Every structure is written in structure tokens, then in C-alpha cells.
Structure 1
Amino acid sequence: MRVVIVYESLFGNTRQVAEAIGEGVRESRPDAEINCLRVAEADPERVGPADLLVVGGPTHMRGMTSGLSRKMGLKAEKNEKKEGEKKEDAQETRHEPEEGAEGPGLRDWFHALPKTGKGPHAAAFDTRADFRMAGGAAPAIARRLKGHGYQLAAEPEGFIIEDAEGPLREGELDRARAWGAALD
């Protein structure tokens, strides 16, 4: 079984979840070939032959990220970092954007993803805050996967972060491993 996990991650939380999902798949299918790829690395040649495609990203403005929301999030981080540098007594830990975070997002990636006629399996996940009306990116990711001809192997899943930039809530990586292990 060939599994490709494609993720978009700004501050590392979604990457950690993607890696944990891969670990879960490996636990349930030790013979599986698993590739965990940042969205910028996930060209159609690497994704096409997958038996299971798992796609995930962070939630911005109650849904999938957009070019604007990604720029706003990264710009806000840079501004907050500058403010923090001005305050010598600032004790708050800031999360740095990951290397490659300013690259393409899932919306752009889906435009380049070819439709599949054979109906391979796919699954969608996101990282999101746990507050009323937070929304989630996973349902939109799942709709796009189905629109490209994939059959969903599981209901879209959200993994909780404590703040806009993380960290992940305690136990979420274990939950991600279990979710990955249950994917068929």
C-alpha cells in the first residue's frame, strides 16, 4: 500500500499531526510505503500513484487557508515578533513560522491536482482552535478530494491547538496516530 500525506503547516502543528498520522498508518500496516510531504513538494507525479491520499492544513477564518489569510498570519507573526523585541521583559514564547511556510497553500495545490477516475481512497484533517464558531478546514479539503474523484476513507478530522500558533493540545498527537491507524 502506498500512502501519501500532504500537509500545509505554518507553525509546525499541522506537520506534527501529519507525521503522527503516518506513524499510525505504519503501526497498522508495517508494509506500507509512506511519504509525508509539504504541499510544495507534493507534485502530481508523487501523489498520483497513492492508494491512500491524506491531506491536511491549518484552519484560517473558519476554513481552508487562502493566499490572503496566509499572508495575514505570517505578517501578524512578524509584527508581533518586532513588538516582542521592543519589550525587554516580554516572557511570552512566540512560534516561528516553519521553513517553507510562505510557499503555496492547499487551495493552489488542489488547482494542479489532476482528477482521478479510478476512485482511490483519501482522508482530510486540519488543525484548529477549540472555541465556538472556530470552524475547520477538513470539510473543505474533503469536498475538494471528492471533487477530484477520491473516495473518503474516513470522516474529516480536526486536531486541536491551544492558541492561534499552537502548541497542540495534550493528547492530540496520540489521537492523530490512532486516526491514522484506522485509515483503510
Structure 2
Amino acid sequence: MIVYESLFGNTREVAEAVRDGVRRARPDADADCLRVSEAGPEQIGSADLLVVGGPTHMRGMTTRMSRKMGLKTEENERTEDPAAGHEPDQGAEGPGIRDWFHDIPRDAHGAHAAAFDTRADFRLAGGAAPAIARRLRGHGYDVVAEPEGFIVEDSDGPLRQGEATRAAEWGAGMLDAVGS
């Protein structure tokens, strides 16, 4: 199960690439992507591997305020120049990964997990994936891969060329850590 938060589609694109990589590596795998707003305890409870990803805002996981600021900035750009800015991803206004962690049980008891983020490529950009991995561990998950960051151009995309391929490879590679 791949759970993601995405404001402008970049993190969704990475989540889908991870899913595709898992499916290519293990064609019999039942791999799904869910927006964070759709991923309740019943959806994630039976997953052999839970992969969680989100965008990086202010060097870490998004907050309600950072999501609102990002969406408002893009809306203002589109108002000034309809060809500029990015359209929000479906569900972008909803809860983020940080909020989602409050709603899931803390009793994963060693179930497997991994964390990723999308981030800009500049010095001190930070990343949300390490904090996501810490939260997963705090909920009892065994994090089987180093937290991974995937690069977006500018601050809101698109994904840098080759990042979707790298995400698919990363997804497939986690299967070795999880085993059969």
C-alpha cells in the first residue's frame, strides 16, 4: 500500500511509479496507491509493506498552514497569468501526512514500511521523508529502506527527468528487504 499526500501531482506521480516498480518486480503483488484522505486503518492494516510519501515544505512535512500557503500562491499566480502556476492535485486541500499519523493506530508491531518525499534541489532544502520514517517507527513499523527524496524542478514541479524511473527502481528494491 502506497499512501501519499500531493499538492500539485509530483508526489502522486512518485507514488504511482513506486507502485509500478513493485508490480513489475512482482507481477502477483496487489499494490495500490491511496491519497492520505482515503487511507484509513482498515485500508492499511493488512498491507505487507506500507510506503508513505509527501511533499517537503519548509524543510519537513507539510502543515495545514504550509499547504494553504502553497495553494494560495499558485492560485494567485494563475489569477495573474492563467498559463502560469500549477493546478492543485485532487484532494490537495484535504489532510496531510502529519494529520494522518494522528488517526492511525500505533500498534503495527514490526510490519514493514518505507518513506519518501518530493523536494527541491537546493542547499538546505531538507526533506519530509526522515520525519515520515520516524513517525512510522513510532507507530511500530519496521522501516526497511532508507528514507528517499525525489527531486522536483523549481519548488512545485515538474519532477526532474529520470526521477519517476528512479522511484520505480526504489519500489522494486524494497521487495528484497521485505522478502516474499
Q: Would you call these one fold, judging by a TM-score over 0.5?
A: yes
How many Å separate the matches in 2 of 1:110 and 1:144? 7
| Seq. identity, % | 70
How many Å separate the matches in 2 of 1:174 and 1:79? 32
Q: Which has the higher Rg, Structure 1 or Structure 2?
A: 1
User: What are the within-5 Å matches in structure 2 for residues 21-170 of structure 1?
Assistant: 21-85=18-82, 93-170=84-161
- Say if 2:78 and 2:84, in contact at 8 Å, map to a contact too: no
* CA positional deviation for 1:116: 2.1
Other structure's SS at 1:127 match: strand
Residue number among 171, 178, 181 corresponding to 2:169 in the alignment: 178
Question: Which 4+ runs in 1 deviate beyond 6 A?
Answer: none
* CA positional deviation for 1:100: 1.2
* CA positional deviation for 1:94: 2.3
* CA positional deviation for 1:93: 4.0
Gapped regions of structure 1 (runs ≥ 5)? 86-91
Other structure's SS at 1:34 match: coil
TM-score (norm 2): 0.94
Other structure's SS at 2:81 match: helix
| Matched AA of 1:177 | A
* CA positional deviation for 1:117: 4.5
Other structure's SS at 2:54 match: strand
Question: Would you say 1:11 and 2:8 are equivalent positions?
Answer: yes
How many Å separate the matches in 1 of 2:106 and 2:37? 19
TM-score (norm 1): 0.92
Other structure's SS at 1:122 match: strand
| Matched AA of 2:49 | L
Aligned length: 175
| Matched AA of 2:131 | A
Let me know the Cα RMSD of the aligned residues. 1.0
Q: Deviations over 1:118-145 (max 9, x none)?
A: 3100000000000001000000000000
